[in-house]
Amino acid sequence: MRFLSLLFVFIVNQNNSRNSRVQNNYFNQKNLNCHIQCSRIANFKELCGFNHLYSSQHMKNMTPLIIIFFLGSLSSFSQSSFYSKLTLGVSVNPSLTMNGNSNDRGSFCDEYINPLYASIAGCTSSERGVGDGYSVDFGSTTGRSGSISLGVQILPALGLELEHHYAIASYNDTSPVKTATGVNRDKLQDEIVKSDERLGDLKSSSFYGNIVFSFLSKSRLTPYLGAGAGLSRLHAEYASVWARNFDPNLIKTGENLPNADEVKTNLSGTVSSAFGPLESSSFSWKAFSGFDYELLDRTFFTFKVQFIQYGTLESDELVWDPLRSHPPNLRKDGSEPVKSISTFENINAISLNLGIRYNFL
């Protein structure tokens, strides 16, 4: 602020020095007209002394002063009203259910498995993956999180914050598929010997706008409540492996087809697997409470407990490769690629965070 004040005085002096000669000439030229008009106009000062202050040239000269004044005011406001927070913590993440689907067809419609697929009604229709769903449950876990935020205290008890929150939930859980519908249900009962799904780390990168209500007191302790809303980018490490029985006699798919033996032989012992990230963005909201405890003049220890609702992770980017031990498409010409559609709903967490709050001047 002292630097801005000195700069303000310097610009004023330079401005006055530069304009003094112009103003002297101006008054000399206007002096005669002023005396003539003074008898007619009551406000002598307005006509002969002050109108020049509002000229466009003078306003242009005043522009640097206005800018310096504005910056000085903004600097004073920001130093007295803004704060930052940095926190680290742990989280508790509840169990999740993954609902899976795909745009696959029945195995007997797969050209690699059944060369006569075109003779079967429905194998060439536009409908794919209808009614073929499955679900798998993953147990609860713990995780870790951290956040950085910039806030402004617009009122003594009311603050606004912009926050970036990052969290990792380490599920690392492998679970078999137990519930399925349609063709998948029949496969699980008859010929699938392995159907494991694995969820690794579930990561979130979120940006929130928060509103914070503080309960002011004369002590060093200031409790607060708050809520926020924003956008979360969700990323799950995921894998899936399905394998069929090696014994063709235990394969039920295609048993009523004219070339049933060929289909069973081609299908026995095949494996479908998919590995990769599942990613999507979702609306997210949070509610939290905690307290700030003053350690030094502008430094506070902060504690926060919060509930975060991340929303839904839905992705169709997981590719089955191999698909029944062949390339990830239904046709040998590469057409009709197959992807897995994976959905996690109601992703949420409860976290405990500790950190430091710093108030700017």
Burial class, 155, CB count within 10 angstroms (exposed 0-12 / middle 13-18 / buried 19+): exposed
Task: Kindly state the average pLDDT of the residues 141-165.
Answer: 95
Least confident interval from 18-27, 42-51, 267-276: 42-51
Identity at 257, one-letter amino acid code: L
Say if CB 147 and CB 87 are below 8 A apart: yes
pLDDT at residue 50 in the model:
35
Do strands 134-138 and 82-93 pair parallel, antiparallel, or not at all (unpaired)? unpaired
User: If you average pLDDT over residues 70-81, what whole number do you get?
Assistant: 49
Q: Is the pLDDT of residue 169 over 90?
A: yes
Structure confidence at residue 92 (pLDDT): 96
pLDDT tens digits, one per residue of 197-225: 999 999 999 999 999 999 988 899 999 99
pTM of the predicted model over 0.85: no
Band of residue 318 on the pLDDT scale cut at 50, 70, 90:
confident
Mean confidence (pLDDT) of the chain: 81
- pLDDT on residue 2: 43
Q: Which of 96-105, 173-182, 345-354 has the lowest mean pLDDT?
A: 173-182
* Residue type present at position 120: I
How many other C-beta atoms are found inside a 10 Å radius of the C-beta of residue 77? 11
- The domain 82-359 having CATH identifier 3.10.105.10: the answer here is no
Most confident of the following: 49-58, 95-104, 142-151: 142-151
Chain CA centroid to CA 118, Å: 46
How many Cβ atoms are within 10 Å of 185's Cβ, its own excluded?
A: 16
What share of the chain in percent tops pLDDT 90? 60
Q: Write down the pLDDT at residue 53.
A: 36
Is 329's pLDDT higher than 80? yes
Domain boundaries, given as residue ranges, for the chain: 2-77, 82-359
Per-residue pLDDT tens over the stretch 256-270: 899 999 999 999 999
Instruction: Kindly list the distances between the CA atom of residue 64 and the CA atoms of 5, 6, 9, 23, 73, in Å, as whole numbers in the listed order.
Output: 13, 14, 12, 19, 14
* CA distances for 308 relative to 159, 200, 286, 350, angstroms: 20, 20, 4, 6
Q: Which pair of tokens denotes residue 62?
A: 């005043």
Buried b (16+ CB within 10 A) or exposed e, 46-65: ebbeeeeeeeeeeeebeeee
Q: Are 108 and 257 in contact (CB under 8 A)?
A: yes
Q: What is the pLDDT of residue 227?
A: 98
Q: What is the DSSP letter of 48?
A: I
